Amino acid sequence: MKKTAPLVLGIAVGLYACAEFYIPDWHVRWLTQELQTWGTILAAFAYILGGVNLIQVNYPKIRRRERDWQYKIVMVVAAGMMLAAGLKWHKLYQSGEAGTVAIADDHGGAAAAGKATIVIDAPADVMVKVGALPAQPARDAAGKPATFVVDAGKVPVRVYNRIAGYRDYDATLEVAPAKIATVSVDPAMLWGTKGRVYNWLYDHVFAPCNATMFALLAFFVVSAAFRAFRMRNVEATLLLGAAIIVMLAAAPIGAWISDDLVDLGQWILDIPNNAGRRAIMMGAAIGAIATSLRIVLGLERSHLGAD
C-alpha cells in the first residue's frame, strides 16, 4: 500500500501532465496552475525537512570535533542568522502610517499665487520625490527641510531612504490652495527579506562570496583546458585545432591575420558544432520522453523508496 498509493497518484498526475499539454481549454490550465501551487507548497514543507537535515548532519560533526568542525559552526550560525533576519520582526512593534501629515494655512507668496506648499520633515539621509519634480534630499546643506510649491489638488509624495530595507512613505496628498502640508517621516528599519539586515547580509557577505566562487571558474577553465588540449590522439588533436581556430576568430588578432579565419571559426560554430549540439538535444529529448513514460506507466518504481 505504501508504494501502491504513490504509484497510482503518480500515474494519474503523470498522464494528466502529459495530456494537458495538448488540451488548450482554460479549465485545464487553471487546474494545472493549481497543481503547480500544490507542488510549491510541498516544496516549502520540504525546506523544513532540509533545515532539520542540516542540523542532523552538522551537529554531530561539531560535537565530535570532526575535521574542520569550526566551519560547521559558521554554517549553522549563518543559517540561523539568515533565518532570523528573514522574519518580519517589525510587525511586532510597527503599526499605523509611515508618516503624519499636518495641514495649516499658508500666508506666504505661494498662497498669494493660489498655490499650495508641501514641507517634508525627515532626516537628512532621506530622499524626497514630490509629483513630477526630481528627487532631492529631505534637507539641504543648511539642514532646512525640503519645501515644494505645487498646484493645488492631488500630489503624489514619496519619502524613502537611500538604502534598501527601510519603510517608505508613499501617499497621494490632496492639498488645497493657500495651504501648507507638513509631512513628518522617519523611515523605520524593516526586517524580513526586504529588510535592512537581510539585505546587508546578502549584499555585503553573500554576494561577494558568490562572486568569488564564480571568479574561480576562470582558473578551473584554464586547468581543464590545459589537459583537454593535449595532443594525445587524433580526436584531441582535432579538438585542439578547432579550439585554436575558434579562439583566434573570436579575438581581434583573428581578423588581423585573415578574414577567412574569422569565417572559418564561425563556420565551425555554425555547422559542425551546431549539428552535434542538435544531435545531442534530439537524443536527450527522446531519452526524456522514454524515461517519463517509464515513470508515468509505473514501470520504473525505484524513486518511490522503500516499503
Partner 1 sequence: MKKAILLVLLIASIGSGAHAETTANQWRFGMGMPDKGDQQDGRHIEIHWTRIDNTNKVKVAVLRRIVHEQAWWDHRTGWRKAEDPPDVGYGPVDINSQPQFGATFVNGTVRLQDLGKPIQIVDGPVQIIGHTFAVGDPIGVWTLIGMVDDDGTQQSFVDEVPPGPSYVYALVPYTPGAEDGQMVEFPEYAIQSWAASPDTSFFNLDRWFFASLVAATALLFLGFMQLAKTRAKSMFIRRIPGVDAIEDAIGRSTEMGRPVLYVTGTDEITNIQTMASLLILGHVAQMTAEYDTEIKVANLYPLTMVVAEEIVRQGYSNAGRIDAHKPENVMFITSEQFAYAAAINGMIMRDKPATNIFLGRFFAESLMLSETGFVVGAVQVAGTAEFTQLPFFIAACDYTLIGEELYATSAYLTREPNLLAQLKAGDALKMNIMILIVAGVIAATFWGFDLGAKLMPS
Length reported for the chain: 307
CA distances from 107 to 40, 45, 113, 175 (A): 59, 62, 11, 15
- Closest distance to partner 1 from the beta carbon of 238 (Å): 13
Residues between 254 and 283 that touch partner 1 (CB under 8 A): 277, 280-283
Among 4, 37, 223, 258, binds partner 1 (CB under 8 A): 223
Among 26, 95, 143, 234, binds partner 1 (CB under 8 A): 26
Q: What are phi and psi of 149, to 5 degrees?
A: -100, 120
Report if residue 92 touches partner 1, rule: CB under 8 A: no
| SS3 at position 136 | strand
The residue range among 60-68, 146-154, 182-190, 260-268 that interacts with partner 1, by the rule CB under 8 A, is: 60-68
The residue range among 65-73, 85-93, 95-103, 106-114 that interacts with partner 1, by the rule CB under 8 A, is: 65-73
Report if residue 284 touches partner 1, rule: CB under 8 A: yes
Report if residue 289 touches partner 1, rule: CB under 8 A: yes
HSE, CB side, 13 Å, CA atoms: give it for residue 207: 7
Report if residue 46 touches partner 1, rule: CB under 8 A: yes
- Angle separating helix axes 274-296 and 4-20, nearest 10 degrees: 130
Compute the CA torsion angle 286, 288, 293, 299 (nearest 10 deg).
120
Q: What are phi and psi of 7, to 5 degrees?
A: -65, -45
- Using CB under 8 A as the criterion, which residues of the chain lie in contact with partner 1 when the complex forms? 18, 21-27, 29, 39, 42-43, 46-47, 49-50, 53-54, 56-57, 60, 67-68, 71, 206, 209-210, 213-214, 216-217, 220-221, 223-225, 227-228, 277, 280-284, 286-295, 299-300, 302-307
